[in-house]
């Protein structure tokens, strides 16, 4: 079973549509999955809608963090709840194509334990590009991890890796992508193109980017 951690924040206008598309895609591909909706303390109706989906679908479970911690903490929290043989965290805005999720799962079926998708090109704003390039450059130069060109922030992980996260890695002052790169498993890098027309405003404020 594939566990999908759905990263929700101020998502009342997106979450129902995204889950509908996700559910349809998994049915078409005959992939058994569960959806862990992890709400990062939204102030709108996001969590209420997630709870409604939980009542409607047996493979959906909804949780909410006590305050807004950012998506890195949401992924750690999601890992503590998943029951599948592998897991991936996804934003709820189609930034990662569902076809890419299927590709990651098929690579896991072939025996790959870490699959990291990365965007071929970045079409973000000038300021966002500066922060992204600066962050990944600093990490590649000064740390023990090496990001692919353009960076990456999500991945599909085998159950063995999820268990390591849950038992041995604390989320403070780190992120799941940094930790999975540090673990020593041989990742498979999967390029993808973000769907056109998906240039929404980032949830990462200037303050959050500086803190990261």
DSSP 107-166: HHHTT-SEEEEEESS----HHHHHHHHHHHHHHHHHSS--PPTT-----EEEHHHHHHHH
| Residue 209: strand pairing partners | none
Residue 19 burial (CB < 10 Å; 0-12/13-18/19+)?
Answer: buried
Of all helices (H) and strands (E), which one includes residue 191? strand 188-192
pTM of the model: 0.88
Q: Which two tokens stand for residue 71?
A: 């998506």
pLDDT, one tens digit per residue, over 162-211 is 999 999 999 988 889 999 999 989 999 999 987 765 545 556 666 776 77
User: What is the model's pLDDT at position 201?
Assistant: 54
pLDDT band at 22 (very low <50, low <70, confident <90, very high): very high
pLDDT at 113 over 70: yes
Instruction: Determine contact, residues 5/87, Cβ cutoff 8 Å.
Output: yes
User: Cα torsion for 123, 125, 126, 128, to the nearest 10°?
Assistant: -100
The alpha carbon of 21 is separated from its chain's Cα centroid by a whole number of angstroms, namely: 17
Q: Distance from first CA to last CA of the chain, Å, rounded?
A: 32
Q: What is the crossing angle of helices 15-28 and 46-56, to 10°?
A: 30
What average pLDDT does range 44-61 have in this prediction? 98
User: What is the model's pLDDT at position 67?
Assistant: 94
pLDDT, one tens digit per residue, over 72-101 is 899 999 999 999 999 999 999 898 999 999
Q: Which two tokens stand for residue 88?
A: 């991936």
Residues 6+ apart with CB under 8 A from 174: 72
The alpha carbon of 19 is separated from its chain's Cα centroid by a whole number of angstroms, namely: 14
Decide the pairing of beta strands 86-91 and 156-158. antiparallel
């Amino acid at each position: 079973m594939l566990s999908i951690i759905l990263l929700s924040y101020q998502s009342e206008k997106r979450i129902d549509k995204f889950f509908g598309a996700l559910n349809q895609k998994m049915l078409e591909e005959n992939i058994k999955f569960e959806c862990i909706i992890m709400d990062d303390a939204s102030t709108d109706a996001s969590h209420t809608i997630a709870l409604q989906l939980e009542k409607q679908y047996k493979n959906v479970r909804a949780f909410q963090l006590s305050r807004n911690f950012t998506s890195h903490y949401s992924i750690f929290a999601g890992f503590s709840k998943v029951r599948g043989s592998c897991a991936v965290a996804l934003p709820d805005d189609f930034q990662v194509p569902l076809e890419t999720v299927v590709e990651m799962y098929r690579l896991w079926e072939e025996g790959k334990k870490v699959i990291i998708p990365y965007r071929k090109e970045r079409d973000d704003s000038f300021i966002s590009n500066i922060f992204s390039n600066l962050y990944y450059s600093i990490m590649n130069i000064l740390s023990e991890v090496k990001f692919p060109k353009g960076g990456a922030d999500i991945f599909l992980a085998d159950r063995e890796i999820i268990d390591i996260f849950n038992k041995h890695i604390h989320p403070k002052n780190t992120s799941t992508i940094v930790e999975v790169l540090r673990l020593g498993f041989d990742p498979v890098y999967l390029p993808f193109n973000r769907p056109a027309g998906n240039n929404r405003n980032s949830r990462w404020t200037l303050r959050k980017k500086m803190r990261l």
